[in-house]
Amino acid sequence: MERLANINGNYNEFLHRFLTVEKDKSPQEILEVFRTTTPQLSPQDFLARLPGGGTAIQFFDDSPEKDQRKALCTFEFSDEFANKKQEEACGVYFSANCFEKYRRKDNLKLIRSLFLDWDCAKQGDAILQEEIDAQKVKMLRRLLLLEGTFLPHVIIDTPHGLHCLWLINEDCRSFKLPEWEAYQNNLVLYFGGDIGAKDVTRVLRLPPYAHLKDPEKPYPIRFLYHDLS
């Protein structure tokens, strides 16, 4: 897709690593290789590498109570504050696109990406971790073995799936919202993503903050891959 920003040599290295470890490792071991060998950018570094400015940082209550009073959106990132919100059982998110003052369509500043929120299970489903890991690896293989230029610029590991981000070429970011919505809808349908998580205001999990929907098993959000200059 010509509108997407170029992928550099990181793709070839990622593909080589994947095909190498896939030969003799279990899905769980494959994922652990990428969790531990992919450089884990700090939140500050990661956010600074995203183009356009105007990234919204969103906090939602991850606990079963879903306390709306804990929800908060800010455009100033603070690791100290993010950790404080984690202590309140809040997940930490970033906006896929850019906004002014408020994270809503009317305040859209810049369309900079397409994204995918893909899950192979939901919280509370009776599914073994081994099956979740196997499905994640299957999706990684699918992403890799399309054409290299279609690999996401960012792949984030979540408890039940992956969050993926494709950055849009700078000279193509001025196209209209309906056109972007058509691309986004097709992307979600093609990969079997969450059809309820495709609007332009969507947020994705921000590494390294934990997913806290299961209070007994906090799940650290980590990068499996990134290619951000």
Residue indicated by tokens 């969450």: 194
Q: What is the per-residue pLDDT for 83? A: 98
Residue 59 token pair: 């906090």
181-195: pLDDT as tens digits: 999 999 999 999 999
Look at residue 113 and give its three-state secondary structure.
strand
Contact 43, 206 (CB under 8 A): yes
- What's the pLDDT band for 5 if we cut at 50, 70, 90? low
Q: Delineate the domains of the chain, giving CATH numbers in brackets.
A: 10-226 (3.30.70.1790)
Contact 112, 52 (CB under 8 A): yes
The residue-averaged pLDDT of 121-149 equals 85
Q: What is the per-residue pLDDT for 8? A: 57
Residue 101 pLDDT exceeds 70: yes
Q: What is the per-residue pLDDT for 155? A: 97
The residue-averaged pLDDT of 21-27 equals 93
Q: What is the per-residue pLDDT for 151? A: 85
Outline where DSSP puts E strands in 86-160.
90-99, 108-110, 113-119, 154-158
